[in-house]
Structures are given as C-alpha cells and as structure tokens.
A and B are shown apart, each in its own frame.
Chain A
Amino acid sequence: MKVLALSGSLRRDSYNTKLLHAAARLLPDGAELEPWDRLKEVPPYDEDDDVEPAPAAVAALRAAIAGADALLVATPEYNSSIPGQLKNALDWVSRPLAKNPLRGKPVAVVGASTGAFGAVWSQGELRKVLAAMGGRVVEAGVAVGHAPMRFEGDHLVDTELREQLAEVVAALVSGTAVGAASRVAA
C-alpha cells in the first residue's frame, strides 16, 4: 500500500517535511510513504493552461495521487490559512472535479509551526478543501506547535505528538482498507 506524502512547505529544512518523515516510520508493515517533492514546479493555476497535456508537474502530481492508496498532507500556516503554493497545486488536481484523482481517496492532514498552535487553522481549512474535492478526509490531525523543540533531526521527540501521529496514520491506512473492501463488494 502506498501513501503519497505532500509537504506544503518548500523550505529545505521544513518541519512539515520532517513530520512526514516521522509519519513514515509509524506506518504499518506493507505500507510505504512516497514523498512528492515537486511542489515548487507547479505553475500558477490558469484555466487557459488547464488543457491537455497538463504542465509536467501537474500531470506528475495527478498521476502520483491516482497511483497512491492514500494521501498524507503536512501543512504550515501562512496568515492563518493554507500556503498559497499548496492550495494552488490542489486547485490544479481538483480539475475537472468529477474526475479528479482525489475522489474517494483517504486523505489526512497534519501540520507543524514554529508558533504555539501547530498550523491548526490551516489544517482545518485544508480538510475543508480536500473534502470539497471528494476526498475521504480523516477527521483527526496533529498540531505540532513550537516545532524547533519537537524534532531532533527528522525524529519527532515528543511522545504524545508521536502517538497522535500514529493514530492519524492508522486511521488513514484503515480508511484505505475499508474503501478497498467496499470496492470489492460493489
């Protein structure tokens, strides 16, 4: 089972990217996390450009989501909301809505910030966006506040946060199983 991991931060030493690495170590056997690291290449959404063939990075992201069993997004928070480049990439993926690859796909959102609140508002808004796209959104999240104190390298050292992250990852993976079972049943 493949979980695509998307970090909403472009920064090389991003805490959100580290959070995804921490999540990778919490996946059950048989599941692997595949980072998607081309977010910076996605051009600004323009309906005039939304034709076939899609811009290379857009086509790659759509294909990566289509080929994954689930999506895990780690988002920072810019001005109480979703970073523009992450939202822009999701806007590309969402078109056309009826055929977008996120439809029915389990997706979870986590976040880290250097401030106290761990991108909690950004996570909420991102869940709304992903639900509008038709994703099967895991309700629980993880808010890693004061991020510089929570990581050693890309290891999440806060036990409680690590347990929360494990729960989110477990919910994401179990959502995949249920979805697959119902697809078989149907």
Chain B
Amino acid sequence: MSTTEIRQALPTGTWHLDPVHSSIVFEVEYMAGAFRGQFREVDATIVADGEQAHLTGSAKVASVDVKDENLAAHLQSPEFFDAERYPELSFASSDIEAGEELAVRGEITIKGVTQPVELTGRATAPLTDAYGRERFGLTLRTKLDRTVFGLNWNLPLPNGEPSLSNEVSLVAELFFVKEA
C-alpha cells in the first residue's frame, strides 16, 4: 500500500494545504473525559528542497468548531483565545529532522505568546491523486500547557480539583498538494 508507506523526510517541492481534508484538532481533559474541537479555517505551506524543509501554518481562531455556539463564543472570548485581539494561531518551523519519527521544531504563537515547540509525527509517500496532482499526508502532534499562552480559564469541581486540564493535545492531520 503506497498510500501508507512511511517516509521520514519531506518530499521536495512547494506544497500547499488541501484545507478541506486537513484538520487541526485540539483535545483536552474536561471533567470526566477528553473533549475535542477543531479549527475549520486552516492553512499551511511546506517548502522542501531535499536538504532543508520549512513548514508554516496557521488557524483562524474565529473558525473554532465545537458543538455549541455558546461554547464557541466562550472559546473566542478574552477568557480563552480572544479572537478579536488575536485572530490567528500560527506556527513556523526552524528545523525538521528525520528519524524514527519526524520531529518538527519551531515556534507556535497562541494569543500573542510565542513559544518553542516540538511536533512529532510522520509523512506519507507522495502519490498522484485522481486529478493528476501530487499529494502527501503529514500527521503531527504535540502537547502544550495552555496557561503558558494565557488561556487560564477554569472552574473548580466540588472536590476542589479543576474541571479543565491545563495540558492540551494538538493533532494536525494535513494533506499537501504540490504546487503546479
């Protein structure tokens, strides 16, 4: 199955995100289990020349997608992402290392706070899709402490424990199409 073959380096070329099939999902422990949401409007570009590769990406805070519009409004408010003042989350890589897993190091910016971060994951081998375009898939994940970025909201449970974890997992399932 060539579509699932794992490659450890990013393929050469300039690659643009297929935003329809890509997702950037966050997952956080909330009270009794994992809560997930995603950002609907995302963008990313990879420029790779064999020796070096550079990945940049962004997500619109206003496109946060959860199952209740009041919760979406809360996530966009100053208590969380503050969409009005900080409309975008962004990432720029500084170093991409092939190994057993792909390691993508760089800086992530959330709510105006920029922090170093390492994403790990894997890339699939490029293939030619049904429309004659070259594409490959990239899965990356990391964990962040949301309070480092000023997302401090919480609500104590009756037992005194916080209802929302500070640790948030980010999982990006990205599909890239080669620039013609």
Contacts and interface: CB of A to CB of B under 8 A. Distances in A.
Interface stretch (B33-41, B78-86, B119-127): B78-86
Contacts of A99: 73
A143 B15 CA distance: 57
Contact of A97 (B74, B83, B84): B74
A91 B84 CA distance: 23
Contact of B85 (A97, A131, A134, A179): A179
A117 B84 CA distance: 35
B159 interface: no
B74 A134 contact: yes
A131 B70 contact: no
A186 B84 contact: yes
A104 interface: yes
B85 A96 contact: no
Interface string B53-82: 000000000000000011011101111001
Interface in A121-143: 131-132, 134-137
B78 A131 contact: yes
A98 B79 contact: no
Nearest to B88: A186
Q: For chain B, what secondary structure do more than half of its interface residues adopt (helix, strand, loop), or is it mixed?
A: loop
B77 A134 contact: yes
Contact of B78 (A97, A98, A104, A186): A104
B150 interface: no
Contacts of A98: 69-70, 72-73
A183 interface: yes
Name the interface size band of chain A.
10 to 19
Contacts of B76: 134
B79 A132 contact: yes
A178 interface: yes
A99 B83 CA distance: 14
B78 A136 contact: yes
A31 to B, nearest CB: 20
B87 interface: yes
Interface in B124-173: none
A103 B82 CA distance: 10
A137 B85 CA distance: 13
23 contacts: A96-B70, A97-B70, A97-B73, A98-B70, A99-B73, A103-B73, A104-B77, A104-B78, A131-B77, A132-B74, A134-B73, A134-B74, A134-B76, A134-B78, A134-B79, A136-B78, A136-B82, A136-B84, A178-B85, A179-B84, A182-B84, A186-B84, A186-B87
Interface of A: 96-99, 103-104, 131-132, 134-137, 178-179, 182-183, 186
Given A104-B78, A134-B74, A182-B87, 5 more contacts: A97-B74, A103-B73, A132-B74, A179-B84, A186-B84
